[in-house]
Each structure stands twice: as structure tokens, then as C-alpha cells.
Structure 1
Amino acid sequence: MAFVLSDNLKAFVNTSFLLLLCFFLTSHIRSPTTSFHVTSTQTAKPPGCAGLHKLKDHHSKCLYIKSHHPCLSQGYVNYLQLYYCLCGSHPPFGYVLLALWLLILFYLLGNTASQYFCSSVENLSRVLNLSPAIAGVTLLSLGNGSPDVLASIVSFRSGSGEVGLSSVLGGAFFVSCVVVGIINLSAGSSPRAAAVRIDRSSFIRDVCFFVVVLSSLFAILLVGRINIWGAMAFTSLYFVYVSIVSVTHFCGEKYEDLAMPILEKEELNDPVTAAKEAWPEGEEEEPQDSASSLMLNSTASQYLKCFLYLMDMPLYLPRRLTIPDVSEERWSRTYAVTSATLAPIFVAALWNSKRGSKESFAIYLYGGLVGIVLGLIALHTTMKESPPKKFLFPWLAGGFLMSVLWTYIIAEELVGLLVSLGFIFGVSPAILGLTVLAWGNSIGDLIANVAMATSGGQDGAQIAMSGCYAGPIFNTLAGLGLSLVVSAWAVHPDSFVIPVGSALFEILGFMIGGLLWALVMLPRKGMKLDKVVGVGLLVIYFCFLSLRLSQSLVLVQVV
């Protein structure tokens, strides 16, 4: 028992150290341009930049943006200047360019999280000897929710807090209503999933805790301000959730150990199981394609792969050269040594984005020296054939930190683009965060969870449903919690004033209503995935969406 506690304490200390280091690095890395603040849900015009829309021709608008400092947006690209100066005479071209860049940023955000971040946290969970239940609600939840969490922190630090609030709550609402609803609809119409039952205790635990989290957030928004202690208390609710999951997982394992001999005896005496095992499996004959069509398809696929490779290379190479990756399927000693060398220089470049020239030279020098030392160590401790088997923690920690930094940079650029688009189209950035950003960050959950629920059998459906609630709980407590901690710390000992709009109370009300609908209806259906549950959740979500869109179009006014 003492050995188990020692391993858990070691894993907790190492995980906490990595998270604190990520928090320290992201809090000291700022983009080279300043940001404009959005303080009202009904306007997307930054203060000091409202006179732009009074001008008629694109040339005068371009000069106005260049001469007015508040018109600068956060990020490494000034999207307002790009649109009004470069594409001012051809607005459709500007729309296409910004839309294409929006898709690229969404791709980079999801690809960085899935290919680098999730790989690092999965391997870290094994190195730290975390149980699957604990890893699922800590590191793996962090891997899946990193885009939402970092986008929320970025928006609060840039002064566009409503974008962060809307994106996290919008994503949580989308997953807990739309994804769960589609899972129930898909599984309810699938003969294979007709007998699938969700674990009652896990479902009630997750949904009830999520209701408690949203009720706590409702109280915070109702007050309208929060100090550092209140923000830390709200964030610490996640540790309460992890503790509850750990206890229930431990008790469940003890129950399974007691019940296993009885189940094995019943399975041996089950005539249906014996008949299935004895039944000969027939071999299905696969259709044969002609040689010419195979050659044609092969040639076309080769051209397509070559085209996609060339298109993806400028997006792939910068991350590959700076994120250490020791996974078996992507191991390359050349990339490993290069990433160990360039990662400190990349961090130094980000660190220098807001500092003077005298400090910059010293920081670049230190970054270069550290990079050379790490590169030489990597060169002498790695082999060409396979990734290292010993001392994996420094490699995985480096991959974890660098993937967090890349995700943070991409999220910062994405939030800056959304705020700029809100200004260009005259739409509140909070609406864009609630829809575009929330949908973009949640589409992966939709595809993965629905596929797992419909084709993964009993275990797949259970994992998918648990993920639809554990993920939003993490995003809400970690994303909004850490954002509130950062913002409250910046104004300590004063309280941080939260940018609250009517949309936030509406989404909380509808979300709690969706959770209560699932909490009541699914047990009444015997914990079987059912169409009635799915239809009800989708109706709740689209009622809210219709209300918000009508309000943004000034069709409905809520006082």
C-alpha cells in the first residue's frame, strides 16, 4: 500500500511540475502585437477604432488602421490590416483568404493536439504509472481539451474574455447535447448497439458533478467578479472530481475481483457461448478488381499523396523540427537531435517577442547554448534504429512542453482572427466563439465518440459517453478556472470583473436543462441508448442556437 501511495505521489508531483512549467512559459510568452478589447456583447468594435466604419474607400481605411494603435489585433498577423490594406479593393478575395486561414488554423490546432500532445501525455501516463481511470481524467483529458483550455486562457489575457467564456461553454454544450444526442440516435438505430447499457453509477456521477460545476459557475457569473481565492477554489473542484473518480474506480475494481470467479464459472456453463465457439466461421470471398482499375487507382492515389505532402510540408516541418517525438511509428534520430537543439532557441524567440534588444541578445545566447548542449546529449544517447528506452521522461516532458507552446501560439492566432472577423462583419466575437470556435474544437469529439459508440460495443459506448461528460468538466474547470486564476492574479488584491452577458446565463440554463433531461430519461430507458433521449438533447441545443442567432440579428431582444 505504501508503495502504491509513493508511486501516486511521485506521479502527482511530476504532473504538477509539468503543468506549472507550462503555465509559467505561456504566461511569459506574448505575441508581438497588442490586442483590442471587446467589452460588450452587442458590438464588435474595439475602443478607439470605431471611426473606421465611417470611412468609405479602402485606402483611407488602410491609413486609419496603420495610424491607430487600438486597431491592432493580437497574434503575429494583423488581420484588419491584411483585409483592409491588401484585400481592400477586392473584398471577396479577403473573405476567401481569411476563411482559408481559419480552416488551416483549426487543422493545425487539432493536428498538434492529436499527433504530438496526445502522444506525449499517453506515454507520460505510462511512464508515471497512472491507472487508466486517473490518466483518463487528468493527462488524457488535458490532451483532448488543450485547444479549448489554451484558447480560453489566450482570450482572457488579451482582454477578449467573452470569447473564452463562450468558446468553452459552447464546446461543452455542443459535446454534452449534440454529441450525446447523436450517439443515442446512432446507437438507437443500430442493431449491434441495441443491447448496450451504460453504467448507471458512472453516468449519474459524471452528470451530477457537471451540474454542480455549472451551478457554481452560474453563481460566480451572477456575482460578476471573483478574487484569486475564489478562482483557485473553483479550479480545485477538478481535483475533487479526480478524487471521486479514483475512489469509485478503486471500489469497482475490488467488486470485479470478487465477482470474476463467479462470472468465469457461469461462462463455462453457458451453452450459447459454447455453441458460438464451436460454430465454424465461413470465409467470405473478396471481390476481385481488374488489373487496369487497380493501376489507375494506384497512380491517382500516388499523385494525391504527393500533392497533399507538398501542401502539408510548410505546416508540418516547423513543428516537427521543434517538438521532440520519441514514438515508435514516427521515430527519426535526425528530427530528434534537431528538435532538442532548436526547441530552446524557439522558446527564446517567443520569450523575446515583447522585450528590448539588450535583453534579446542575452536570451538568444542562453537559448543557443542550451540547445547545443541538449543536441549533443541527444546525438550521443540515441540510436538510428529505434527511440530511446531509458530516461524517457525528459524526452516526453520536452514533447509535452513544446506541444503546449505550439498549441498556445495557434490558439492565440485563432482567437485573434475570430475577434478580427467579428469586427469586419459587425458580429460579436462572443457569438463566433460560441459557434465557430466551439464547433471547430468539438468536431473531433463528435467523430471519435460517435464512431466509438456505434462500433466499439459495450466498452466503446461506455468510454464515449464518459468522455462526453469528463471532457467538458475538464474544459470548464481547467479552461475557465485557470483563465480566472490568471486574470484574478493580475489584479490581486482587487477582484477581477468578469465580462458577463445575457448569453452566458442562457447557455448555462439550457446546458443544465440538457443534463437534467439525460439524467431523467436515460435511467427510465433502462440505461440503454435511445432515440428519445437523443432527439430531446438535439431539440434543446437547436432551441438555444435559434434564440442566440435571432438575438444577434436583432429579431429578439432580451432585457
Structure 2
Amino acid sequence: MASSTSIPQPKKLSLFINISFLFLLCLSLITTYLHPNNLDLPNHPKSNSISSANILSEDIKSVNGCKDLHQHADYKSRCLYVKTHTGCNPKGYIHYLKIFYCSLGKFPILGHAAVLLWLIVLFYLLGNTAANYFCSSLESLSNILKLSPTIAGVTLLSLGNGASDVFSSIVAFTKSADGDVGLNSVLGGAFFVSSIVVGVISILISPHQVSVDEASFVRDVIFFLFSLSSLLAIIVIGRINLWGALSFLAIYFVYVGTVSVSQIYRRNKNLAASKYLPVVQSFDDLADGTASIPLLGYVDDDKPVSNANLKTGLHDDQEQNYWFFYLGKLIYILELPLYLPRRLTIPVVSEERWSKPYAVISVALAPILLAALCNTQREDLSSRGKLVTYMTAVLIGLILSNLAYVTTNKCSPPKECLFPWLVGGFLMSVAWTYITAEELVGLLESYGSILGISPSILGLTVLAWGNSLNDLIANATMAVKGGTDGAQIAISGCYAGPMFNTLVGVGTSLVLSSWFEYPSPYAIPTDHSLYETIGFLMGGLLWALVILPKKGMKLDRYMGSGLVAIYLCFLFVRLARLLFF
């Protein structure tokens, strides 16, 4: 049993993330201000391998990406290359290649460590924003809109769990020259969840001989296979118009309708039998109101620790009280850099987190953040247009903040007109998720250039694993501790979630991309490894579809080991292709 004086595990993670962020911030300031010459182009000496004049004359005109970076011998010439080559410009807000080769060129190990730490921080921001802001708004909106638990389960639950995948896909398609990063991240995440997560769950609960509902399982897997077949056809054709993209997206709404019909049939059948067992069999049973819809996410370690919470449960020893008091203050200060920007721009109206000062400030600053995001997305916007956008945002923020100040009280969140607050919180959560996903995709593309490998490989592995780690932890925990009910919900989520990411994430990306190209069709990125990924993914689904009914729908080690083996074979093939071909 853990000692009462130990720091909770989620708080340790939050402490590590925030210390990493502060370290990276200090490192950035030091490299910028103590070594300003590293960022000045004229101070770079000539490279031994190629002259500065040649780099300038060749690379300013080049639009072939950053593929020739490793043809330069030392970090100085690479620094000059990334500054003058337009293909090396960042897709996000930070120029990682310039920092790596110009600011940290003499210390490559420190550069790699900084990139990996920042990658962890971005993954944390994605998951933490989804869990503590995005999912909270979705749950409240579901209650206000009076959605049935079934519809909420296959829409809002999946959206809450797959927000990072959806927005990473949209960013990769709309902001990146290589849209295959988005395809690989979504398909890689879907493969990881439907193989590794389902496999781990099957192995862990094998001794308990837990069965899952056959009708729901078969329905979800068949729809998933049909979705992948449709995506494969799109990739083979190589282009898609707006109507085709809308049709692909509409498959998910057909799935939602099918789930609703099956739920109604099941409920009527139960009523006719006049015998109801309050056991959750699938997402369908959630409609009967016997189970709540858990939006699986990270533990709420985003909220600063109050002094009262720190003192609760401590020993009577006065020295320990003082120790934990100051430790709480330290953790609170370390959390502020990641906590405050989101808290000051995302309206929160939950009972336990209500604060009138934060609410008033958030509705004032939210329009300004949206204006900044809009201005960064439009490269052709003039300075005058940007100024008008900011002034309009400031005016809207002032009006909203005054209304919030007048219509709210200090003790509790508003009870009336709650819908605008929730919509505002939802939109700002989307904005922060989009900003973080955009930066994450930009970081992976830059790190791919640093390592000399295709960014799509990083999307298939690092991005997919990072976005799916939450599913592994949450679903496995639910299956092990929740008994038959928990196992059923976990398995259903392992197929409904990836299907949502594939249809809605890729579908929305295709709709937006084809809309920008309208009336011309949108050309699908050519990446032949996608055939391989989809083939292995469909193989894992077919394995589960064949083996599980033969086992009486009982999850066991045989099925789980087969799914894990299929995924490991896929990784071996991809790594072998990367290393030897």
C-alpha cells in the first residue's frame, strides 16, 4: 500500500510534463539570446562541402521539400540550407530545423532530447485538452440536446476519444504537402487499437472467460471492413471529388442509423419479453439508461492543487504539513505555463471548476485567440485585413465579457442560457486541439527530415502510438476492472472508435481538401505502403471475425496472441522495407 506522503501518480506525470516544458522554454531563450549569431545568415562561414552562394542560388528557388538536407556535411551548412530553402519552412509555428541545426547544432544529443521532450508535451496537451475541456463540453451538450445514450455513445464518445486523430488528420491534409501523414496516422492508430489493444484485453481477461455480444461485434467489424474497402478504392483510383468525399463521410451516419435501429429493436424485444437484465451488453444497451457514457480520457491532473486538498489526509505532524504546503505551491507554479493559456481562453461552466473571474476573462480572450488562428491560416491576408480581424475580435470580446460579468454570479455557474457557454467551450477546445495537432504534425515532419526518414513512417508509428496510448490504458483498465460490462464496452470502443477516426477524420479531411479543389477532383497522396497497412489491418479484423465466434465469443489468449502477432509482423515488414530497400 502506498504511503500517504507519496505524490499521486497522475500528479507526478503532470509535474514531469510541466518541468519539461519549462526546461524547453529556458533552453529556447538561452539559445536565442546568448547565441544570436547562430540565427543570422551573414555570419555563417562557408561550408567545406558547398559554398554559401551555391546554397543560396539553388535552394531559394527549390520547392522539392527538404530532401537534400543530408547532402551537406556539417551543421553550419545545414543551418544555412534550412534558412534559405523554402521547402524547409515549418508547417506549424516553430521552426524546428532552424533550432536543431542553428541553435543546437553543436549539441545534437541535446537537440534530440529537446525534440522528444517537446513531443511528449504536445501529446500531453492533446490528451489533457480532450479529457478536461473537450469531453466535458461534449457531455454537457449531450445532456442539453437530450441525445439518447446510444447516439451519444457512437458519436460524442468516439469524438471525445478520437479528437487527436481527427484533428491530426485534418491538419496533415490541409496544412502539409504530404497528406499521407494524416492517412498513415489514422490507419496506424486504427490498426494499433484494433490489434494491440484488443489483443492485450483478450490476453488479460482470458482467465475469466468473458464473452461479448455477437451481434454488436459482427456489426461493428463488418462496417469497419466496408469502410476500409471504400478507402482502399479511393486510394486505388487516386482522386476524389466533393460528392465522393461526402459519400465516404456519410458511411458513418449510416452506421449510426444502424446502431439506433438495432437498439430500438433490442429494447422492444426486451419489453415484449417483460424481462430486463440491467447489464450493459454493448453501446446499444446504453440507450436503456442503465449505464452512463464514460468519455475515456486522461486523468484530470490539469487542475492546480489547492492548499485544502494538500492538507487533507496528511498526518498530524506539523513538519509534514508545511512540507506538503510548499510542495503544493511549487507544483501549482510549475503547472501554470501549460494550465493558464487554456484556462484563460476556454470557457468552463462545470460546477466543480466554476470561477467567475476565469469565465469573464476567457470569453474576452477567446475571440482574440480565434482571430490569431484565422490570421495564421490565411497567408494571403494583408496587414490591414489582419488588423481589422484583431480589432473585431477585441470588440466582440469586450461585449461578451461584460455580458458574462453582468449575468453570472460568483458562487455557481449559470443555470440559464447554458447552451452558448457550452458551444463556446466546445469551439475553444477544438481550437486548442487543432493548434496542438498542427504543431505536432509540423514537429513530426521536421523530425523526419532530421532523421532522414519519411514523415509518413513517423505518422504510422509515433503519431499513431501517441494518439492511441490513451485507448490502451483506458480500455484495458475498463476491461480488467469492469467485469463483463466493462469488457463489452472496451471491445466495442476498440472498433467503433477507430471506425469513427477513419470515416470522420479522413472523411472530413477529404471533404475539405476536395472543397478547396472544387470543381476539380482532389489528388490522393501516392503512398504505396498504404495498401500494405490497409491489408494488414483488414487481416486483423478478419482474424477476430473468424476466431471469436468459433470460441463462443469468449476473449482468450489465442485470439489476443494472433492479433498481436499480426501487428508485429506488419511492423517487421515496414522496418525491413525502411532499412533494406
Question: What CA deviation, in whole Å up to 9, does each residue of 1:450-479 have, x standing for no partner?
Answer: 111111122211111110011011000011
Structure 1 residue 433 displacement after superposition: 0.4
Q: Would the aligned equivalents of 1:58 and 1:89 in 2 still touch at CA under 8 Å? A: yes
The reply on whether 1:244 has 2:258 as its aligned counterpart is: yes
Q: What residue number does 1:465 align with?
A: 491
Q: How far, CA to CA, are the matches of 1:59 and 1:263 in structure 2?
A: 71
What are the residue-to-residue correspondences of 1:52-131 with 2, within 5 Å?
Answer: 52-131=69-148
Q: What residue number does 2:543 align with?
A: 517
What are the residue-to-residue correspondences of 1:147-162 with 2, within 5 Å?
Answer: 147-157=164-174, 158-162=176-180
Q: How far, CA to CA, are the matches of 2:209 and 2:65 in structure 1?
A: 61
Structure 1 residue 53 displacement after superposition: 2.3
Q: Would the aligned equivalents of 2:63 and 2:86 in 1 still touch at CA under 8 Å? A: no
Structure 1 residue 155 displacement after superposition: 0.6
Q: Do the aligned partners of residues 309 and 551 (structure 1) sit closer, same or farther apart at CA in structure 2, a change above 3 Å counting?
A: farther
Q: How far, CA to CA, are the matches of 1:416 and 1:127 in structure 2?
A: 37
Name which of 347, 350, 369 aligns with 2:370: 347
Q: Would the aligned equivalents of 2:315 and 2:321 in 1 still touch at CA under 8 Å? A: no
Q: Would the aligned equivalents of 1:46 and 1:71 in 2 still touch at CA under 8 Å? A: no
Q: Would the aligned equivalents of 1:174 and 1:439 in 2 still touch at CA under 8 Å? A: yes
Q: Do the aligned partners of residues 456 and 50 (structure 1) sit closer, same or farther apart at CA in structure 2, a change above 3 Å counting?
A: closer
Q: Would the aligned equivalents of 2:209 and 2:556 in 1 still touch at CA under 8 Å? A: no
Q: What secondary structure sits across from 1:159 in the alignment? A: coil
Structure 1 residue 312 displacement after superposition: 2.2
Q: What residue number does 2:500 align with?
A: 474
Bigger drift between 384-393 and 408-417 goes to 384-393
Question: What CA deviation, in whole Å up to 9, does each residue of 1:407-444 have, x standing for no partner?
Answer: 00000000000000000000111110000000000000
The code of the aligned residue for 1:249 comes to: Q
Structure 1 residue 263 displacement after superposition: 6.2
The code of the aligned residue for 2:172 comes to: S
Structure 1 residue 522 displacement after superposition: 1.2
Question: What CA deviation, in whole Å up to 9, does each residue of 1:90-136 have, x standing for no partner?
Answer: 11111111111111000001111111001111111111000111001
The code of the aligned residue for 2:407 comes to: T
Structure 1 residue 303 displacement after superposition: 5.7
Q: Would the aligned equivalents of 2:186 and 2:505 in 1 still touch at CA under 8 Å? A: yes
Name which of 331, 338, 344 aligns with 1:321: 344
Q: How far, CA to CA, are the matches of 1:262 and 1:95 in structure 2?
A: 58
Q: What residue number does 2:21 align with?
A: none
Structure 1 residue 160 displacement after superposition: 1.9
Large movers: runs of 4+ above 6 Å: 291-300
Q: How far, CA to CA, are the matches of 2:63 and 2:454 in structure 1?
A: 11
Q: What secondary structure sits across from 1:138 in the alignment? A: helix
Bigger drift between 311-320 and 164-173 goes to 311-320
Q: What residue number does 2:217 align with?
A: 203
The reply on whether 1:179 has 2:203 as its aligned counterpart is: no
Name which of 421, 425, 428 aligns with 2:451: 425
Aligned CA RMSD, in angstroms, stands at 2.1
Structure 1 residue 58 displacement after superposition: 2.1
Query: TM-score under structure 2 normalisation?
Result: 0.80
Structure 1 residue 145 displacement after superposition: 0.9
Q: Would the aligned equivalents of 1:141 and 1:470 in 2 still touch at CA under 8 Å? A: yes
Structure 1 residue 144 displacement after superposition: 1.2
What are the residue-to-residue correspondences of 1:36-51 with 2, within 5 Å?
Answer: 47=64, 49-51=66-68
What are the residue-to-residue correspondences of 1:132-531 with 2, within 5 Å?
Answer: 132-157=149-174, 158-189=176-207, 194-261=208-275, 305-353=328-376, 354=379, 355-531=381-557
Q: What secondary structure sits across from 2:195 in the alignment? A: helix
Gaps of 5+ in 1: 1-44, 265-290
Q: How far, CA to CA, are the matches of 1:232 and 1:178 in structure 2?
A: 31
Q: How far, CA to CA, are the matches of 2:471 and 2:277 in structure 1?
A: 34
How many residue pairs match? The answer is 482
Q: Would the aligned equivalents of 2:70 and 2:452 in 1 still touch at CA under 8 Å? A: no
Q: How far, CA to CA, are the matches of 2:169 and 2:544 in structure 1?
A: 27
Q: What secondary structure sits across from 1:80 in the alignment? A: helix
The code of the aligned residue for 1:207 comes to: V
Question: What CA deviation, in whole Å up to 9, does each residue of 1:178-217 have, x standing for no partner?
Answer: 000011011113xxxx253211111111011101111111
The code of the aligned residue for 2:264 comes to: F
Gaps of 5+ in 2: 1-61, 279-313
Q: How far, CA to CA, are the matches of 1:419 and 1:316 in structure 2?
A: 27
The code of the aligned residue for 1:127 comes to: I
Q: What secondary structure sits across from 1:476 in the alignment? A: helix
Q: Do the aligned partners of residues 295 and 446 (structure 1) sit closer, same or farther apart at CA in structure 2, a change above 3 Å counting?
A: farther
Q: Would the aligned equivalents of 2:69 and 2:449 in 1 still touch at CA under 8 Å? A: no
Q: What residue number does 2:292 align with?
A: none
Q: Do the aligned partners of residues 262 and 147 (structure 1) sit closer, same or farther apart at CA in structure 2, a change above 3 Å counting?
A: closer
Q: What residue number does 1:19 align with?
A: none
Q: Would the aligned equivalents of 2:140 and 2:422 in 1 still touch at CA under 8 Å? A: yes
Structure 1 residue 297 displacement after superposition: 7.5
The code of the aligned residue for 2:480 comes to: T
Q: How far, CA to CA, are the matches of 1:169 and 1:294 in structure 2?
A: 54
Structure 1 residue 500 displacement after superposition: 2.8
Q: How far, CA to CA, are the matches of 1:509 and 1:296 in structure 2?
A: 62
The reply on whether 1:543 has 2:569 as its aligned counterpart is: yes
Q: Do the aligned partners of residues 46 and 177 (structure 1) sit closer, same or farther apart at CA in structure 2, a change above 3 Å counting?
A: farther
Q: Do the aligned partners of residues 304 and 421 (structure 1) sit closer, same or farther apart at CA in structure 2, a change above 3 Å counting?
A: farther
Q: How far, CA to CA, are the matches of 2:317 and 2:264 in structure 1?
A: 53
Bigger drift between 467-476 and 291-300 goes to 291-300
Report percent identity of matched pairs.
56
Query: TM-score under structure 1 normalisation?
Result: 0.83
Q: What secondary structure sits across from 1:553 in the alignment? A: helix
Bigger drift between 102-111 and 384-393 goes to 384-393
Q: How far, CA to CA, are the matches of 1:71 and 1:443 in structure 2?
A: 30
Q: How far, CA to CA, are the matches of 2:255 and 2:404 in structure 1?
A: 39
